[in-house]
Structure 1
Amino acid sequence: MTSQSQGIQQLLQAEKRAAERVSEARKRKARRLKQAKEEAQVEIEQYRIEREKEFQTQQRTALGTQGDLSSEIEAKTRRTLQMVQSCHGKNKEVVLRRLLSLVCDVKPELHPNYRCTSN
């Protein structure tokens, strides 16, 4: 009987060791999965940061181009406005004198189609 009880004891101990090994293997597997998740999160974050930087660069380039165009258009508009104002200032007096002379200096003449009927 002692050999049977020793055999049972050995079986129980072997079963206990097997259960411990299975438990350790599950723990190692869980640790590996957790580590893999963490590594994946780090990679995802790095990729997201990289893509965000690229997006910011492209956005700055696009908006910078639009900003350059708007400032260029504003400068051209200012130059055109200054040119129109200077031409107006130069020609204002001449135009006013000509209009006044046409209105005020009337020279009475007969119309070329007028026919004289009294002879």
Structure 2
Amino acid sequence: MDSSRGHGGIQHLLAAEQEAQHIVNAARNAKMARLKQAKEEAEKEIAEYRAQMEQEFQRKLTESSGDSGANVKRLEQETDDKIHHLKTEASRISNDVVDMLLKHVTTVKN
């Protein structure tokens, strides 16, 4: 009877070992699944962060381009003001310049 009892104990140990192996395999598979999920979540967060940074970069690029557009407008206004000032001064003194040129051209020196 001892041999059947010993044989039954071995069967019981083999079944327990097999069950333990299934538990270890299930835990290993769960760990791998969790690692895969964590990796996917990290990649998603990275993509979102990258998109956010790209959007921020584009916004700053647009703002700086807008500033240069404002500078161009300011420079154009200053240029127009200077041209207007020069035309006003030229029209104001043009008669005096013409008179002076005529005087020097028509005066004969010996």
* Shorter-chain TM-score tier: 0.7 to 0.9
Secondary structure of 1:24's partner? helix
Aligned twin of 2:58: 56
Using the TM superposition, give the Cα deviation of residue 91 of structure 1 relative to its aligned residue in structure 2, in angstroms: 3.8
Counterpart residue type for residue 104 of structure 1? T
- Any stretches of 5+ residues in structure 2 without a counterpart? none
Using the TM superposition, give the Cα deviation of residue 93 of structure 1 relative to its aligned residue in structure 2, in angstroms: 4.7
Using the TM superposition, give the Cα deviation of residue 80 of structure 1 relative to its aligned residue in structure 2, in angstroms: 1.8
Runs of 4+ in 1 over 4 A off after TM superposition: none
Aligned twin of 2:6: 4
CA-atom RMSD in angstroms: 2.2
Question: Rg: which structure is higher?
Answer: 1
Farther-moved stretch of structure 1 (95-104 vs 4-13) = 95-104
Aligned twin of 2:32: 30
Q: Provide, for residues 10-63 of structure 1, a one-character-per-residue CA deviation record: whole Å limited to 9, x for no partner.
A: 111111110010000000001111111111111122222222222222222222
Counterpart residue type for residue 14 of structure 2? L
Higher helix share: 2
Work out which of the residue numbers 44, 60, 68 in structure 2 matches 1:66: 68
Using the TM superposition, give the Cα deviation of residue 3 of structure 1 relative to its aligned residue in structure 2, in angstroms: 1.7
- The percentage of counterpart residues that share the same residue type is 36
Work out which of the residue numbers 15, 21, 46 in structure 2 matches 1:19: 21
Secondary structure of 2:81's partner? helix
Aligned twin of 1:101: 103
Aligned twin of 1:114: none
Using the TM superposition, give the Cα deviation of residue 89 of structure 1 relative to its aligned residue in structure 2, in angstroms: 4.7
Using the TM superposition, give the Cα deviation of residue 96 of structure 1 relative to its aligned residue in structure 2, in angstroms: 2.4
Aligned twin of 1:112: none
CA distance in 2, matches of 1:24, 1:38: 21
